[in-house]
Structure 1
């Protein structure tokens, strides 16, 4: 599927000036005694496509969940667009942020999950319009027009009045992508978006994401085991192991000439 004019109209095009859009400073996250992220420092520039690779359990998905504030850091801070995500300044001190502040910063972030996470009691159209109307305050008619254009982009116009249970896994994931883009986020998070799909459906979803990556300036942070996809869309690849970034570089560098023994070991197992 190729991108069309609706793609460029309906997805954001933040200024790509190399400015820092996401910043993790000394972030630690524990689940019980398990340290999932260990004093993590990294940043993502606006408009860039960054892919996180590494073994299961290395902390990659936790990064996305932190950005969506589904979990909060035990130590350290996260900034999005120069604003603290789960902290705020109050009387000169940095304190845990209130829910209003978190919602305001988080609305610039969209996420596509492994398991689609569509609302089962809502038809496709309302799945896409619900957040723009309730969170952004978009008029219903404008939200529906945006949704129809996005459904055309993802090739699902004829399924607009169906419930998620009436769609295939691949179709549900396309709806989930359209739903994330309907918020016009600055950042799109992709969490193993093909892992729950039957193999024959994977290529279509990845092709759609390639179109988004190539046709817009949206910043993408992607966790995937699809190494060819990572090679195709990434400006930067980060190799994770035990909650730390152990190597970072261009796709050409990481996939063709990795420096770290653990990176070489991981890639030899998955390529």
Structure 2
């Protein structure tokens, strides 16, 4: 893999600096550019929602942050450190090794569209697997944390169930608990209700509203649930063809959008 281009200055790793910064990020698949010189910041504790048509690059942003994909150009910074690069003695950024990726990835948790639970493991084991094997927590400590989280998501009575014994909404609640068990600084939410039956959507969204209101976790959310986006977001970013074409408060974006493409998109889904 080629070296990354020279980035801009690294954002300061301070309580006042951005927790996440996309610095001229490009993502290509062959000749197709999914993200086109993308720049945006997410401040610590902010809840930022990405909206826009399918194929506009929103989920790709989350996959890049989880290091499930690598950038084609540019740099992603997390808490002042480059995500998929390391700085060499000459000051240039080079692709990072797996050890570096694991270290930075600990700060990030993700809840996927599909629940991705281990079907052969009970609920408790699904939640403690990563804290024990990645964070190095003792089994007792991980189990205590898991029980707290299962109470938070309303599934204390399902601790010994297998995923196949749970409804879709219950499985997604377990997936949320599993992500939180890693104590991430950033929680990524990728269309977390899209695989649910309609009657189960409200319960999962209410849970996420409670988490947003009661914790200081930073959230980056991709959703087509516009009422949810309006409720939890500090900022909303409208994407089209791999670029942010408009951003602002939920009140501004949903009540008085300035860009014609934003107005078209919202009128089609609201």
16-25 or 32-41, which moves further after superposition? 16-25
SS of corresponding position for 1:114: coil
- The match for 1:142 is 141
1:1-271 pair list within 5 angstroms:
17-92=15-90, 93-271=92-270
Count of residue pairs brought into register by the alignment: 257
| Alpha-carbon separation, structure 1, partners of 2:165 and 2:242 | 39
| Alpha-carbon separation, structure 2, partners of 1:116 and 1:26 | 32
Identify which of structures 1 and 2 has the higher relative contact order when contacts are C-alpha pairs closer than 8 Å and 6+ apart: 1
Q: CA deviation at 1:120?
A: 1.2
Structure 1 pair 182/140, CA: closer, same or farther in 2 (3 Å)?
same
Q: CA deviation at 1:17?
A: 4.6
| Alpha-carbon separation, structure 2, partners of 1:17 and 1:208 | 27
The superposition leaves residues 36-83 of structure 1 with CA deviations (integer Å, 9 ceiling, x where unpaired) of 101101110000000000000000000000000000000000011111
| Alpha-carbon separation, structure 1, partners of 2:192 and 2:207 | 12
- The match for 1:6 is none
Q: CA deviation at 1:19?
A: 2.4
Q: CA deviation at 1:16?
A: 10
SS of corresponding position for 2:119: coil
| Alpha-carbon separation, structure 2, partners of 1:233 and 1:110 | 18
- The match for 1:4 is none
Structure 1 pair 52/176, CA: closer, same or farther in 2 (3 Å)?
same
Contact 1:129 1:182 (C-alpha < 8 Å) held by counterparts: yes
| Alpha-carbon separation, structure 1, partners of 2:93 and 2:176 | 35
Q: CA deviation at 1:162?
A: 1.0
Contact 1:120 1:163 (C-alpha < 8 Å) held by counterparts: yes
The Cα RMSD (Å) is: 1.1
The superposition leaves residues 73-110 of structure 1 with CA deviations (integer Å, 9 ceiling, x where unpaired) of 00000011111100001212211001111110110000
The superposition leaves residues 149-189 of structure 1 with CA deviations (integer Å, 9 ceiling, x where unpaired) of 10011011111111111110000000000000000000000
Gaps of 5+ in 2: 1-12
TM-score, normalised via structure 2 length = 0.94
